[in-house]
């Protein structure tokens, strides 16, 4: 059997590929990469088990060819690239053999607002109970255009094709992939605070997000793959929507405090000061989009539980410890 994966040298795709090869060593794997050195990285890491395919999500011919030949397609490179998902849809709608397609998304799709009058702090979306609402989110929500195409693929060929969308919140933890092992929100915040010299919250930082460990993101992908391979029924198509979390979340003001303490104790900033800024100031001073550090975004991973998936590293203890682990990892590799 054959897997085609995009984003294999990235944080999420790298973790998924690592776990996939451990669980399913008999698969023939092709992995899209767009930099020549990534072919070497894949070869050095996995030898003949992974076959690098040079190209990008914009090379529709390459995507079509690989998707046509694959039994499982995992599109983990980008949650905003709707044209590539359209290509996968076209190929999959014509399939006359069985296939599974999994698309990466992100809970940015749920964000309320960076302005306090738009906050909805108590709104928690379940991927089971609120699936109709999720399927009706407006196109103006981040990542929605690509996700909407992915959610519609199974309807185009229900006899042969199963699909799922995996939608993680803030991911933390050091990944096990062969390329990028770092996430975005915490590492980017660490780097920006060191550069600027002090920390910030968007307004008073009383907004909440969920978190998931990269390992649990990988095991959720694998839980879907395994159900599919076992031929057992699982939530797919418009119902195949999978959040990743374990029931705990955090306030951005608490994360800002932890980041400042960790940087200060290592002498990487001279002040623990945390300024309350508006979104425009965050963009201007820190060059960060405030949405990812100052909105409410809360999900409930019920669909994964129905697969038998259980997160084991997404709890608060792992989350808070990861600030220091990511920081030390970045310092030891000269990233910070």
Does 170 interact with ligand NAP (rule: CB under 6 A)? yes
- Window contacting ligand NAP (CB under 6 A); options: 18-26, 122-130, 182-190, 221-229: 182-190
CB 289 within 8 Å of CB 111: no
- Window contacting ligand NAP (CB under 6 A); options: 4-12, 85-93, 219-227, 271-279: 4-12
User: What are φ and ψ of residue 149, in 5° steps?
Assistant: -65, -45
Tell me which of 7, 240, 279, 294 binds ligand NAP, using CB under 6 A: 7
Q: Using the minimum distance from each CB to ligand NAP, give the nearer residue, 56 or 135.
A: 56
In this structure, is the dihedral angle defined by the CA atoms of residues 309, 314, 316 and 317, taken in order, positive or negative?
positive
The nearest distance, CB 330 to ligand NAP, in angstroms, is 14
Does 12 interact with ligand NAP (rule: CB under 6 A)? yes
CB 130 within 8 Å of CB 94: no
- Measured between alpha carbons, how far is 163 from 93 in angstroms, rounded to an integer? 12
Tell me which of 9, 199, 260, 314 binds ligand NAP, using CB under 6 A: 9
Contacts with ligand NAP by CB under 6 A: the residue count is: 28
- Window contacting ligand NAP (CB under 6 A); options: 86-94, 168-176, 231-239, 248-256: 168-176
- Measured between alpha carbons, how far is 43 from 46 in angstroms, rounded to an integer? 5
Q: Using the minimum distance from each CB to ligand NAP, give the nearer residue, 35 or 321.
A: 35
Does 10 interact with ligand NAP (rule: CB under 6 A)? yes
Structure tokens at 83: 């044209």
Q: Using the minimum distance from each CB to ligand NAP, give the nearer residue, 40 or 275.
A: 40
Measuring CA to CA, which residue among 314, 329, 304, 336 is closest to residue 234? 304
Tell me the DSSP string of 117-152: GG--TT--EETTTTHHHHHT--TTSTTHHHHHHHHH
C-alpha 319 chain-centroid distance:
16
Does 311 interact with ligand NAP (rule: CB under 6 A)? no
Site for ligand NAP in 48-77 (CB under 6 A): 56-57, 76-77
Does 229 interact with ligand NAP (rule: CB under 6 A)? no
- Measured between alpha carbons, how far is 163 from 241 in angstroms, rounded to an integer? 9
- Measured between alpha carbons, how far is 207 from 269 in angstroms, rounded to an integer? 25
The nearest distance, CB 318 to ligand NAP, in angstroms, is 15
- Measured between alpha carbons, how far is 330 from 21 in angstroms, rounded to an integer? 27
- Window contacting ligand NAP (CB under 6 A); options: 29-37, 195-203, 222-230, 312-320: 29-37
For strands 161-167 and 241-243, give the pairing.
parallel
Q: What is the contact surface with ligand NAP in residues (CB under 6 A)?
A: 6-7, 9-13, 32, 34-35, 38, 56-57, 76-79, 81, 104, 106, 168, 170-171, 179-180, 183-185
């Amino acid at each position: 059997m054959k897997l085609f994966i995009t984003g294999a040298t990235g944080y999420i795709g790298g973790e998924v590929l690592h776990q996939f090869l451990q669980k399913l060593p008999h698969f023939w794997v092709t992995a899209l990469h767009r930099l020549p050195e990534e072919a070497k990285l894949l070869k050095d890491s996995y030898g003949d088990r992974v076959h690098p395919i040079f190209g990008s999500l914009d090379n529709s011919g390459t995507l079509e060819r690989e998707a046509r030949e694959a039994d499982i397609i995992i599109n983990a490179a980008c949650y905003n690239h709707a044209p590539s998902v359209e290509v996968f849809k076209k190929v999959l709608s014509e399939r006359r053999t069985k296939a599974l397609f999994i698309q990466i998304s992100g809970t940015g799709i749920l964000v309320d607002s960076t302005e306090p009058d738009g906050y909805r702090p108590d709104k928690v979306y379940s991927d089971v109970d609120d699936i109709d609402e999720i399927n009706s989110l407006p196109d103006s929500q981040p990542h929605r255009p690509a996700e909407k195409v992915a959610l519609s693929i199974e309807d185009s060929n229900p006899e042969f094709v199963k699909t799922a969308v995996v939608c993680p919140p803030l991911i933390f933890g050091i990944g096990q992939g062969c390329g990028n092992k770092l996430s975005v929100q915490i590492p980017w915040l660490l780097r920006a605070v060191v550069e600027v010299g002090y920390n910030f919250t968007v307004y008073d930082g009383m907004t909440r997000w969920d978190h998931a460990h990269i390992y649990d993101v990988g095991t959720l992908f694998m839980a879907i793959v395994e159900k599919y391979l076992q031929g057992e029924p699982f939530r797919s198509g418009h119902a195949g929507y999978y959040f990743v979390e374990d029931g705990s979340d955090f306030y951005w003001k608490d994360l800002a405090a932890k980041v400042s303490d960790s940087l200060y104790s290592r002498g990487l900033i001279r002040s623990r000061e945390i300024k309350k800024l508006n979104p425009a100031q965050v963009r201007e001073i820190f060059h960060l989009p405030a949405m990812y550090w100052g909105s409410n975004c809360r999900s409930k991973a019920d669909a994964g539980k129905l697969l038998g998936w259980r997160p084991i590293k997404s709890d608060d203890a792992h989350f808070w410890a990861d600030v220091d682990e990511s920081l030390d990892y970045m310092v030891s590799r000269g990233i910070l």
